[in-house]
Amino acid sequence: MAKAYTHTSWVVKRGREEEFIERWREWADWSRLEGLAARAMLLRDADNPERFVSFGPWESMQAVRTWRGHPGYQERVAQLREVLDSFEPRTLELVAGS
């Protein structure tokens, strides 16, 4: 079975960055209970402080689908959207490594 990852690009409303980080942490902590295989990572663009990316490994593609279909996911995404201009979630599978 392919190793699954999620990756999201986030653009945060100016001045709401710290609030976003706190909301993202809560969402990531909850996600660990829902199949996230290890800690998710949140990175901030050094040149554009309103831009972030996050990624994390999952137990399986099915775990990602179940997580995204959970009402708790939708609730937390709604809370995140309050401080966002945009976001682009992606589901990725590992095809090579070194």
SS3 of the chain: the string is: CCCEEEEEEEEECCCCHHHHHHHHHHHHHHHHCCCECCCCEEEECCCCCCEEEEEEEECCHHHHHHHHHCHHHHHHHHHHHCCEEEEEEEEEECCCCC
Fold of domain 4-93: Alpha-Beta Plaits (3.30.70)
Percent of the chain clearing pLDDT 70 (strictly above) = 98
Q: Is the pLDDT of residue 39 over 70?
A: yes
pLDDT band for position 1 (cuts 50, 70, 90): low
| pLDDT for res 35 | 84
Helices 71-81, 61-69: axis angle to 10 degrees equals: 70
Determine the pLDDT at residue 49: 96
Predicted TM-score (pTM) of the model is: 0.90
Q: Are 80 and 53 in contact (CB under 8 A)?
A: no
**Hey, where are the domains in the chain?**
4-93
